[in-house]
A and B are shown apart, each in its own frame.
Chain A
Amino acid sequence: MSTTSHQNSRNAPSWARLALIIAAWATFIVFLVLPLAIVLIEALKMGVAHFFESMLEADAISALKLTLLAVAISVPLNLVFGVAAAWCVSKHDFYGKSVLITLIDLPFSVSPIIAGLVYVLLFGAQGFFGEWLIEHDIQIIFAVPGIVLATLFVTVPFVARELIPLMQQQGTQEEEAARLLGASGWQMFWHVTVPNIKWGLMYGVVLCTARAMGEFGAVSVVSGHIRGFTNTLPLHVEILYNEYNHVAAFSVASLLLILALIMLLLKQWSESRINRQLNNGDE
């Protein structure tokens, strides 16, 4: 990083600098702070007691449970996938590698609605496997498995895309050194690779969790909005809002907001650790 004196000497006109900083602050407040504030203001409109009452209502609790379940399944699966994908892409060379890297990101450029739609087409009553599933009395769409699948789809790339650049930058020398010193494949992985990527992993997991927790569109398609059964927290917010139960909607929303802020803090923390690690790596 450059020094303070340098920062001040550069970009000569100070009025321009001041104007830009003020513009950034103003945009920041209007764009990011106001929406945050309004959620809390609306939630607390009818008092703290009412706020907690809405958050602890039975349907809200069951929505919270389902959200946590979706997170608990999709995050570990995508974590394992992310490590595997990053390993083969960053530590090995093969034909078609760049295509694979692009394809890993594919779910990011597909609308969440389409993510939900493809599973409805596979497992819904009119879908490819619809009849077979009905015969065997298995329900995926409008049930928990569908919600988990949709969440998985939209969160596939998160861990992988954080790890790939990190592991590419770290190269393979430490792994080679470990092997030469007699480490087995798994010993090398656990003693050398994992400690080197743990903050990147953490970062990816945080992003993945945030998205899994807040996914709306994809889950909305496959859920069927069955209250107390196939409702996640974001879907519950929608239901309450559409019933003009604004205070309850904003109370549940503020719970999600607080979780989001926690994720943001964790993200910031793991990011600073990654930077520290990378800076130490180079001479």
Chain B
Amino acid sequence: MSIEVRQVHKQFGNFTALNNINLDIKAGELVALLGPSGCGKTTLLRIIAGLETPDTGSILFNGDDVSRRDVRKRNVGFVFQHYALFRHMTVFDNVAFGLRMKSRRERPSEAVIAEKVQELLRMVQLDWLSDRYPEQLSGGQRQRIALARALAVEPQILLLDEPFGALDAKVRKELRRWLANLHEDINLTSVFVTHDQEEAMEVADRIVVMNKGVIEQIGTPAEVYENPASDFVYHFLGDSNRLKVADQDIQFRPHEVLLSQVAVTDHQPGIVRDIRPLGAITRVTLKVEGQDEPIEAEVPRDDVNLQGLTRGATLFFKPKAS
């Protein structure tokens, strides 16, 4: 199901959370709303879900205006940042909740419910936990149960609020891949909110970069990274260096640097302050004459210029782009 956001505006007192937002999401897409905290991304997600009403503007699902439609009738699956699992219910009852809330005419029999719940729990690989209570689960397990619960009512749209925010780094990586795979399998229109650019780049088909209540740029991960529409997007999507040349500032990313141990034309000297091996790449920090801000260069760990390099040595560098 496609989602259209039309001229949505939302104000909280004096604070403009969303300023005239327009956004099209195609059916089956996996879209990330990316931005710093307070940029309005969660508000936008809650408005799409129907948990919040926009002051003006409308939300369309498959071309139908759902702005006035009750949250129950929107058929949206929502995964909360802190999961909001019902703490007094078992995992099974949590997942079955949506099915049991249906009116008597639509409600499947308990046997059908049980079958469906088990199927979902198998899908999230947690069928062995069905009798546990949320408090007995790890963060990653809770996350997957919350997802199973949202999927149980067969939503047309899946919305996730900071789905990996509360997890530790390793579990977060695993779940990210798992979610991307799951999306490929069930191909449900999905929108997730995140403040982590790496997460957005890794999982999403398209990224919506937001700042201070407006959309800065919409595009595929490659587009927003290669052709940032604004300074904000450029800085938010990755580390960057700033180099003073004449009276101008040149900006470039740490991997966009050519290095040389000997003086070459166009290359500028810098004194090595720090050498950090970070796995596949190594980061070299350089102090440049005439500016306080250091320059960071990231090169493959087997780069020839790293051989025999020590702190205090002089290294010559040049931004690739310029």
Contacts and interface: CB of A to CB of B under 8 A. Distances in A.
Please say whether the chains A and B touch (CB closer than 8 A): yes
A177 interface: yes
A184 B50 CA distance: 15
A195 interface: yes
A190 to B, nearest CB: 11
Give the residue among A181, A183, A195 with the most B Cβ atoms within 10 A: A181
A interface bracket (residues with beta carbon within 8 Å of B): 20 to 34
Interface in B144-180: 149-150, 152-153, 166
Given A187-B101, A280-B135, A180 B87 contact: no
A277 interface: yes
B86 A180 contact: no
Interface in A139-190: 173-174, 176-184, 187
A181 B77 CA distance: 7
Interface string B240-272: 000000000000000000000000000000000
Interface in B96-111: 97-98, 101-102
A173 B97 contact: no
Contact of A181 (B51, B82, B87, B101): B101
A135 interface: no
Contacts of B150: 180-181
Given A180-B49, A181-B149, A182-B98, A173 B71 contact: no
A45 interface: no
B120 to A, nearest CB: 13
Contacts of A196: 87-88
B117 interface: no
Given A180-B49, A280-B135, A174 B84 contact: yes
Contacts, number: 66
B51 A277 contact: no
A96 interface: no
A192 interface: yes
B87 A177 contact: no
A135 to B, nearest CB: 52
Interface in B72-103: 72, 76-78, 80, 82, 84-89, 97-98, 101-102
A281 B82 CA distance: 11
A175 to B, nearest CB: 9
A181 B97 CA distance: 7
B308 to A, nearest CB: 49
Interface in B275-295: none
Nearest to B51: A176
A183 B82 contact: no
A173 B81 CA distance: 10
Contacts of B57: none
Nearest to B78: A180
B145 to A, nearest CB: 12
Contacts of A184: 72, 101
Interface string A242-283: 000000000000000000000000000000000001001101
A97 interface: no
A179 B87 contact: no
B87 A280 contact: yes
Contacts of A17: none
Given A173-B82, A184-B72, A283-B139, A178 B88 contact: no
Nearest to A170: B87
Contacts of B102: 182
A176 B87 CA distance: 14
A177 B72 contact: no
A276 to B, nearest CB: 10
Nearest to A194: B88
Contacts of B98: 181-182
Interface string B60-77: 000000000001100011
Given A176-B51, A180-B71, A183-B101, A281 B87 contact: yes
Contact of B78 (A174, A177, A192): A177
A182 B49 contact: no
Nearest to A188: B101
A91 interface: no
A191 interface: yes
A224 B84 CA distance: 54
A283 B167 CA distance: 12
B84 A176 contact: yes
A3 B87 CA distance: 28
Contacts of B152: 181
Query: Which A-B residue pairs are the 3 nearest by beta carbons?
Result: A181-B98, A173-B84, A280-B135
29 contacts: A173-B80, A173-B82, A173-B84, A174-B84, A176-B78, A176-B84, A177-B80, A177-B85, A178-B86, A178-B101, A180-B49, A180-B51, A180-B72, A180-B77, A181-B97, A181-B98, A181-B149, A181-B150, A181-B152, A181-B153, A183-B101, A184-B101, A191-B86, A191-B97, A191-B101, A195-B89, A196-B88, A281-B135, A283-B139
